[in-house]
Structure 1
Amino acid sequence: MSSSSHQAHRPDGSRGRTTRWDEGIPPMLRPLVRAYLLGYVSSVAPRLLTLLLQHLTRRKLKRQAQEPATTPAGAQPQKNGEPFLEALQRILRGGLDWQRFPTFCAVLVGGSTLLERPFSVVFSQLANNLSEIARRRLSRWCASFTAAWLSLRLLQSKQTPSFTDTLPSANGTPPKTIHYAGRTLDLTFFAVTRALDVIGGELWHRRRLRRRRQVPQNPGWSSLESAVSRLTDPAIFALSSGLIMWTWIYLPSRLPRAYNKWIGSAAAVDGRLIEALRLCRTGKLRYGLDTGCANLLGSMCADYGWPEEWGNPAKSVPFPCEMVHMGCGPSCEYHAVSRFARSFRWAMATYLPLSLLLALGRSSDHRRLPAGLRRALLSAARSSAFLATFIALFYYGVCLARTRVGPSVLGKDAAAREKIDGGYCIACGCLLCGWSILFEHPGRRKDLALFVAPRALATLFPRRYALDKQWRETLVFAASTALVFTCVRENRARVRGVFGSVLGSVLQA
């Protein structure tokens, strides 16, 4: 029998409902407990996986180097000298901190459900002219708004070194410590994106209802409306990912450090090449002039065995596109194909093990296991093709602007080449890369679009800002979250994707 079944055999042979793990918890407290456990797992599991992978990698390197172990098994020191077991305990204990994400989830979800009854009583007395549905929705919105405000303030109360500066003393005065806001911006932009998606979905749904009333003989979408419906999520992903790539090239400080590192690993590009493009944009690297930047790409020419003058902007106008290819030869098309192949292998090494583990976990019947493994393989291959196409399109977009199309449109003189390498080539790559989303399964496009949209929105704002402006962020987060929580309890289908399903399950009594 499937483990997901809600039926079980009783001792007398009859069938009854299976007992849920939270059956013994009072119904009003179940959302709070679910939220805390989900928050704990989501915050601790990635750290545990990283710790385990680092531990296994070090053990493998030690065996390959045939170095004798200096610490007992299971207690290998980490990069900072911390033994494995101590690091494990630190991660597990860290998730229990009351100012961390699990407590935030518990206060947010628990407060939105527990405060609904008091608000309902208040509005039934103060707003008895409203309908019962209106009072219920208003009570849920106010309860969620209050819980969201308090939960975010809880996270914001924790001070961290990256959002703290100490000004040196002057004229005998003691050093001054300045605290900045911005730690919770990612959560705020996530809530804003979800709220905008809910509003857009509701407006689009009402438009469809009006069309059904106005054109009853043809209640479906027109060709234009169908195209808009199909391409909205891909367009959101393409615009968002293009903005993220632009930021990664020119404003990397506006991206989280982990995000910067992951994009750098996927791009596999020489940092000197990125620096040269940044210098082109700021005007510090000028074609036909000696501005002191010859050593930057000159060292790259020496490493790759290219002529030294290729890296000198005073002699090479522009530097050859073969330098962008980083050893793949002069053909831009061959470089794009090569990038696709290398990126596909890199992505499969990540996606395939995860897909196989999920397939094994879902297959309760061994007879269905081969079919599940085939689906896992196809899913991993499709996701890997999407990511590989993303990378290949970005690089080929750069080559299109630098070699294939750009010179014919903007010109081939030094000024035109500076414009191309100063931003046009990167912009072309950013515009093309995101449309690789069309390779992904249509069901996953909305999740991917809603995943990258908050990160793209965050690139438009500084990562830190004055602490006295923090109330604005808290207000925006609370209002957006209240809208999403109220909607998921009134109409769960309006909150799209995996997040809507998870949130609906957590909020269920």
Structure 2
Amino acid sequence: MTSPRQIQDKLGKAAPPILRPVLRAYVLGYASAVAPRVLTLILQYGARWRKGRGLEREAQPQRDSFAASLRHVLCSGLDPQRFPAFCAALVGGTTLLDILIGRLINRLRTKLSAVARRRLSIWISSFIAGWLSLRLLQSKKTKAYAAETSANENDKQKPIQYAGRTLDLTLFAATRAVDVVIGELWSQRRQRRVAAGRWSWLDSFISNMADPSIFAASCALIMWAWFYAPSGLPQSYNKWISSAAAVDPRLIEALRRCRKGELRYGEETGQAPLLQAMCEDYKWPLEWGDPARTVPFPCEMVHMGCGPSCEYHALSRFVRSFKWSMATYLPLNILARSKNLTGFRRALVSAARSSSFLATFITLFYYGVCLARTRAGPHLGNKHDVTTRQTIDAGVCVGCGCFMCGWSIFFEAASRRKDMALFVAPRALATLLPRRYPLEKQWRETLVFAFSTAVVFTCVRENRSRVRGVLGSVLGSVLET
């Protein structure tokens, strides 16, 4: 099977040098946009086929449905207002405009050095290409960012279009631009201090802890949003986190009601049926689920059938999460690495490490909740005080779990921590911003994206190693003429 890289190489040899970045960007954008959807479609069809084996009458309709869905996925990637065309416009606009703008700057009588003129040309061309390419994506209208409203009830409703569909992409670019700028400033500071013999253990500690701290803080924001403001996360994120967490939704709803003040300990507020239904399913005393009689509801309910021990529950969570993660990571790593016995061993080690990371992430979150509810939190104050218990379950316990879970990043290899930190950081920032906002303010987002893109692309063209992680190597290879 021909890989996207091989397709890029073949197209590169056949196309003129000036058009090669455009073709590379389009092929890479098409592959990244379509391949995951095709894989999901194949897995879904395979699951339906296994369930319906032997039903000959359903076989042909299933094949027709699969073919139609596959055709739709493949053709949708060719839409000029989608991600592949955006990638081509961004990269192609940058490289083509760079030639024109570079010639124009060279003709002007300026006191800038040749290097400065070169950087200015790249920055301006990247800024213009970033602005226009994002506007191309933003021009596509979707139902998710539309609404109907009217001034009066009797008036005809008018459609209103909102902005925000490209917010994740903008935050990704902005995060990368900030990383480039801070990284360059820190590198210059390090060179000065090393030359002066003043580089200290504290400087080394900050360098080593920067990425883990970014990851932990970002995960804390994401998990807090998943718990209390799920609308601030993409639906796919909510679904995946819920699947990994494997928690009874009634328990989450109870803690949410505690935070809203709807469920109050020591008072009859009509909230008992929520957790009492859970008590019936798990064969617990019904009084456990009544906040007017039980303050607080036992931590055993958080363990969901693992018994009263918080430590045993944490251990069982790790084992279950590790198995769940290995079922996901191991096949992917085997497909990517296992060309021989050595490759299989590496795939196994990589899958085990990633599974340990995710299992520890989930375990630390749950144990953080237990730590605040049972093991430590109540002993910091009056553990028999209803107000203290209400405060803990109204947000302190979840906050403790959110704070702890991200430090599982230390189970991952140091080389991967920077990529993971820069992956979750824009998604964490998105939880602090509205998913939809008025269309007339969209120019601000476009400006941020264009400026950030100009910073990153200029750095890639001048100093590729400054753009950390996989992105730097990918952009460097794509922008080559």
The correspondence for 1:153, drawn from 128, 135, 144, is 135
The correspondence for 1:175, drawn from 137, 157, 163, is 157
1:266 aligns with 2:268: no
Conservation of the 8 A alpha-carbon contact between 1:407 and 1:416: yes
Equivalent positions of 1:201-240 (< 5 A) are 201-215=183-197, 221-240=199-218
Ranges in structure 2 where 5+ consecutive residues have no aligned partner: 4-8
Q: Secondary structure at the match of 1:90?
A: helix
Rounded Cα–Cα distance in structure 1 between residues aligned with 2:435 and 2:95? 32
Alignment: residue pair count: 474
Question: Aligned residue for 2:15?
Answer: 25
- More displaced 10-residue stretch of structure 1: 389-398 or 128-137: 128-137
The correspondence for 2:343, drawn from 359, 372, 379, is 372
Rounded Cα–Cα distance in structure 1 between residues aligned with 2:186 and 2:101? 31
Equivalent positions of 1:73-92 (< 5 A) are 73=60, 75-76=61-62, 83-92=65-74
Q: Secondary structure at the match of 2:13?
A: coil
Question: Aligned residue for 2:168?
Answer: 186
Structure with the larger helix share: 2
Question: Aligned residue for 1:470?
Answer: 442
Conservation of the 8 A alpha-carbon contact between 1:181 and 1:466: yes
Question: Aligned residue for 2:6?
Answer: none
Conservation of the 8 A alpha-carbon contact between 1:289 and 1:314: yes
Conservation of the 8 A alpha-carbon contact between 1:302 and 1:308: yes
**RMSD of the TM alignment (CA)?**
1.6
Cα distance change, pair 21–468 in 1 and its aligned pair in 2 (3 A): closer
Percent identity of paired positions between Structure 1 and Structure 2: 63
Question: Aligned residue for 2:50?
Answer: 60
Deviations 1:233-252 (A, max 9, x none): 11110000111000000000
Conservation of the 8 A alpha-carbon contact between 1:182 and 1:464: yes
Ranges in structure 1 where 5+ consecutive residues have no aligned partner: 4-18, 364-368
Deviations 1:264-287 (A, max 9, x none): 000000111111111001111000
Rounded Cα–Cα distance in structure 2 between residues aligned with 1:429 and 1:158? 39
Equivalent positions of 1:111-122 (< 5 A) are 111-122=93-104
Question: Aligned residue for 2:324?
Answer: 346
Paired letter, 1:437: I
Deviations 1:387-446 (A, max 9, x none): 000000000000000000000113221100110000000110011100000010111101
Cα distance change, pair 171–444 in 1 and its aligned pair in 2 (3 A): closer
Cα displacement (A) at 1:61: 1.7
Equivalent positions of 1:93-132 (< 5 A) are 93-132=75-114
Rounded Cα–Cα distance in structure 1 between residues aligned with 2:57 and 2:193? 74
Rounded Cα–Cα distance in structure 2 between residues aligned with 1:44 and 1:127? 48
Question: Aligned residue for 1:51?
Answer: 41
Q: Secondary structure at the match of 1:70?
A: helix
The correspondence for 2:280, drawn from 302, 322, 325, is 302
Question: Aligned residue for 1:458?
Answer: 430
Paired letter, 1:246: W
Deviations 1:70-102 (A, max 9, x none): 3345x517xxxx811100000000000000000
Question: Aligned residue for 1:431?
Answer: 403
The correspondence for 2:231, drawn from 234, 250, 253, is 253
Paired letter, 2:372: A
Cα displacement (A) at 1:505: 0.7
Cα distance change, pair 464–127 in 1 and its aligned pair in 2 (3 A): farther
Rounded Cα–Cα distance in structure 1 between residues aligned with 2:316 and 2:420? 25
With the length of structure 1 as denominator, give the TM-score of the two structures.
Answer: 0.91
Paired letter, 2:350: S
Deviations 1:341-362 (A, max 9, x none): 00000000000000000014xx
The correspondence for 1:496, drawn from 459, 468, 472, is 468
The correspondence for 1:409, drawn from 367, 377, 380, is 380
The correspondence for 1:331, drawn from 299, 306, 309, is 309
Question: Aligned residue for 1:42?
Answer: 32
Conservation of the 8 A alpha-carbon contact between 1:169 and 1:176: no
1:505 aligns with 2:477: yes
Q: Secondary structure at the match of 1:179?
A: strand
Cα displacement (A) at 1:21: 4.8
